[in-house]
Structure 1
Amino acid sequence: MSLDLHFILFLLLRMAIAAAFVVTASVITERSGPVIGALVATLPISAGPSYVFLALDHDAAFIAQGALSSLPVNAATIVLGLTYVVLAQRNNLLVSAGSAVAVWIVLASIIRLFDWTLAAGLVVNLVAFGICIPLLARYRHVKMPLVTRRWYDIPFRASLVATLVAIVVSTSGWVGPRVSGVIALYPIVFTSMMVILHPRIGGPPTAAVLANSAWGLLGFGMAIAVLHLGAANFGSAIGLSMGLATCIAWNLTLWWNGRRKRLAAAAS
């Protein structure tokens, strides 16, 4: 087998694996309502596979440096979420999602111009989330209507994440860790939910999923910081495992805390 054919087949396998993660998580999101859906959506189901595949091709220093660029991009994602949530209350998909993605691209383009430190990335996240979480709170409580799936849903989501993985993996060698870290954090799951759910159930219910994701996304930012520290000190495999464990533990804590509050309210 030629080297080029081997690369193409391996790339296709990576794309298929990543797509399967995102499609599964998206289906769970639709069936679980905005709260559970938001917790699933903020797991590393898109960025995770991208980073795993980067770790297969590059050393731990590359992964640690990429995570430093990914950390401020997480702050850009919560701004994307706020932009969409506010606009989706009264506007159509094109205006709401288009404006949100445009905001993310502008912020990500600015972020990639700088060499980020861990402290600077954490500060940017704290400021962004400190502003956005209170603003998103009023949009969280909307009943999720029944979603009727269409034939193109799964292929559409699969193609989005597969394309992202292909871009990250195939360009990482020449764009370097900084740009790879930015691209890997593109919010594929949020974008697919906007595009698919908004035309069917309307802006406010779709926005509720993103609004409920704010706290989960904050934990995702912490997981990126843990990934950087873990990869820099213990290697890529341990760093990735530590980042994933942080994300899961954070989201499980959010779920348990929400469940405890609901039980207390029901008992009172």
Structure 2
Amino acid sequence: MSPELAFLLTLALRMAITAAFVVTSSIITEKSGPVIGALVATLPISAGPSYVFLALDHDAAFIAEGALASLPVNAATILLGLTYVVLAQRHSVLLSAGAAIAVWIGLASIIRQFHWSLISGLIVNAVTFAICIPLLARYRHVRMPPITRRWFDIPLRASLVATLVATVVTLSGWVGPSISGMLALFPIVFTSMMLILHPRIGGPPTAAVIANGAWGLMGFGLAIAVLHVGALQFGSVIGLSLGLATCICWNLTLWWNGRRKAAVG
């Protein structure tokens, strides 16, 4: 087998694995409502496979540096969410999602100009979330109407994420760890939700899913920091495992806390 064919087959397998994750999470999200859907959406559905496949091709130092670049980008994602949530109350999906993506791209371009340390990345996340979470709180509680899935919804979502993984993996050797880490965090799951749900159920219910994802994104930022430290100290496998465990434990804690408050109420 030629090296070119082996590369293409491997890339196709990686894209298929990622698509399977997305299909599963999409079904859970659509059946569970905005709160559970948001917790599922903020798991590392797209960034996780991207980093796993990067780890297969690069050493632990590459993964650690990529995670360091990803950390401040997580703050840009919550600002993308805030932009969409506010605009989606009254405007179309094209305007709301388009403006949100433009905000993310602009902030990512600014972030790229600076050299980030672990402390500075954590600080920018803490400040950004401290501002955004209270602003998003009023938009979280919206009744979710029934969703009728169209035949192309899940294939579209899966193809978007698979394309992102293919882009990150293919370009990583040329663009280096910092840009790879930024690309890995492009909010493709949030974006696909905006594009698919907004035309069908309206802006406010879709915005409720995004707004409920704020606390989950905070845990995702902590998971990125854990990945950076873990990869530096123990290697890529342990670093990725610790990052995933952090994300899952954080979201399970959010779910349990929500159930406890509901029971008390």
TM tier relative to shorter chain? over 0.9
1:179-258 mapped onto 2 (5 Å cutoff): 179-258=179-258
1:11 equivalent in alignment to 2:11: yes
1:242 deviation in Å? 0.1
Task: Please tell me the residue identity of whatever aligns with 1:146.
Answer: P
Q: Conserved in 2, the CA contact under 8 Å of 1:219 and 1:250?
A: yes
1:120-135 mapped onto 2 (5 Å cutoff): 120-135=120-135
1:92 equivalent in alignment to 2:92: yes
Q: CA separation in 2, counterparts of 1:104 and 1:139?
A: 20
1:107 equivalent in alignment to 2:107: yes
Identity %: 78
1:260 deviation in Å? 0.3
Aligned to 2:160: 160
1:20 equivalent in alignment to 2:20: yes
1:154 deviation in Å? 1.6
TM-score (ref. length: structure 2):
0.99
Q: CA separation in 1, counterparts of 2:23 and 2:77?
A: 20
Task: Please tell me the residue identity of whatever aligns with 2:216.
Answer: G
Q: CA separation in 2, counterparts of 1:18 and 1:202?
A: 28
Aligned to 2:78: 78
Root mean square deviation, CA, Å: 0.5
Q: CA separation in 2, counterparts of 1:154 and 1:37?
A: 15
Q: CA separation in 2, counterparts of 1:56 and 1:88?
A: 39
Q: CA separation in 1, counterparts of 2:134 and 2:90?
A: 20
Q: Conserved in 2, the CA contact under 8 Å of 1:39 and 1:216?
A: yes
1:159 deviation in Å? 1.0
Q: Structure 1, residues 209-228: CA drift from partner, whole Å, max 9, x if none?
A: 00000000000000000000
Q: CA separation in 1, counterparts of 2:232 and 2:261?
A: 38
Equivalenced residue count is 265
1:112 deviation in Å? 1.6
Q: CA separation in 2, counterparts of 1:238 and 1:114?
A: 28
Q: CA separation in 2, counterparts of 1:124 and 1:172?
A: 25
Q: Conserved in 2, the CA contact under 8 Å of 1:26 and 1:189?
A: no
TM-score (ref. length: structure 1):
0.98
Q: Structure 1, residues 184-215: CA drift from partner, whole Å, max 9, x if none?
A: 00011100100000000000000000000000
1:240 deviation in Å? 0.2
Q: CA separation in 2, counterparts of 1:215 and 1:90?
A: 24
Hey, which bits of structure 1, 4+ residues long, moved more than 4 A? none
1:23 deviation in Å? 1.8
Q: Conserved in 2, the CA contact under 8 Å of 1:29 and 1:36?
A: yes
Q: CA separation in 2, counterparts of 1:181 and 1:90?
A: 34
Aligned to 1:137: 137
* Ranges in structure 1 where 5+ consecutive residues have no aligned partner: none
Q: CA separation in 2, counterparts of 1:154 and 1:140?
A: 24
* Ranges in structure 2 where 5+ consecutive residues have no aligned partner: none
Q: CA separation in 1, counterparts of 2:155 and 2:109?
A: 29
